[in-house]
Structure 1
């Protein structure tokens, strides 16, 4: 059965290095299965467009879920969409996981192919949407990105299913925190939520319901514009998963 309400899990975590395979799924995937109502054989659609829809990455993800009971499908847009009806494909899933990479490239392809409506339909139907890095920012209004080069820049053409900006890798990449704060302070981006590496945000509808983490010390953050050209940052203590 699908999630009881629209659900998004936006993170700076995901897969881990595997033992017998290149990757293995981290705890966030169990969380997403729980949010989806714990289906007997979850269907997970992997979207690797931010990384160029590389065939070897799609194979690594399929191998990562061997023996878990999760049925992996994928949605690729290069060199053309690999399914005839994207909306129908997404609605047939329990979970969608969007991989990291170039969020600017990802959003360009999604807008080019008109994917806002299919993703919104899946979200509203209770398909649990999730992802890491680019796959986190994409569901928001925008965020900070290295898609254009080593000096980070704002991106503000996200799908905006969530009416906030989003920061990722907040503790591990030195430009992320000050740039997000400046963009929120100056009104370039709306109030934001951010995640350290190893942390994630769980939204039900458009409300943040909790922060989660798969390692000690990782946190989530709320960044809001205040009077007097100020920005306020509040730590959100996560639940360990």
Structure 2
């Protein structure tokens, strides 16, 4: 009996200590040098491998070149994972690529199309495995919206509409909070009408770090950009400004 009990304690201890914290960094706008540098710091690695996913812009060569330009001079090993590939040129699975990284950054663009491609290619499942493993997950615009339960997107014609995300974070989300004038009032309206859950909004140069699904800290590239917790109480919107740590651009 003592031996069985001891074995159970050892197994439980191994389970507890083998679990890694799940870190997700969501920011409101497009990828910047400052946000890449901060993502690298979150890995606690000397020269981390960071993979950029430009899916939302259709693997735009301009965006890919811009990524490498931004990474120039930083202590990172930059990678790119394209989805417009074929089996004769791509010898690693998407999962194998993602699971070998220290961090993954998702770019902006068309959220709806990006999610459709990810699901068709099972990249969504690979990203969840990477997240659960403790690989840092990050991104802005479409690259932030995708991790939440839902939010508003410009991915469809005519107007902003609601899109469901992957649900890694159990909140709604609004990127480009003050830079695009229709974002904030529509986000408030959708929360009041319970079309969206309470959630987090980010200005373009501000972001939020979530640790194991919960708010950890807010960061910003300047003193004029903020993130907010937006929720409704007694039929009114409450907008709580999160005081950020200012990052170096």
TM-score by length of 1: 0.88
Alignment coverage as a number of residue pairs: 227
Query: Higher helix share goes to which structure?
Result: 2
Matched, 1:192 2:199: yes
The equivalent of 1:179 in structure 2 is 186
Aligned-residue RMSD, C-alpha: 1.9
Matched, 1:207 2:214: yes
CA contact (8 A) 1:62 1:72 kept: yes
The equivalent of 1:103 in structure 2 is 111
Aligned partners of 1:80, 1:11: CA distance in 2, in Å? 32
Deviation of residue 108 (structure 1)? 1.2
Deviation of residue 230 (structure 1)? 2.8
Deviations 1:147-196 (A, max 9, x none): 1135211112x110001111111011111011111111112111110011
CA contact (8 A) 1:83 1:89 kept: no
Aligned partners of 2:193, 2:86: CA distance in 1, in Å? 39
Q: Given the alignment, which residue of 211, 235, 238 partners 1:232?
A: 238
Matched, 1:128 2:136: yes
Aligned partners of 1:105, 1:117: CA distance in 2, in Å? 16
Q: Which protein is bigger by CA-based radius of gyration?
A: 2
Matched, 1:12 2:25: no
Aligned partners of 1:159, 1:219: CA distance in 2, in Å? 24
Q: Given the alignment, which residue of 137, 145, 158 partners 2:153?
A: 145
Aligned partners of 2:91, 2:107: CA distance in 1, in Å? 18
Deviation of residue 58 (structure 1)? 1.4
Deviations 1:189-213 (A, max 9, x none): 1111001121001001100111110
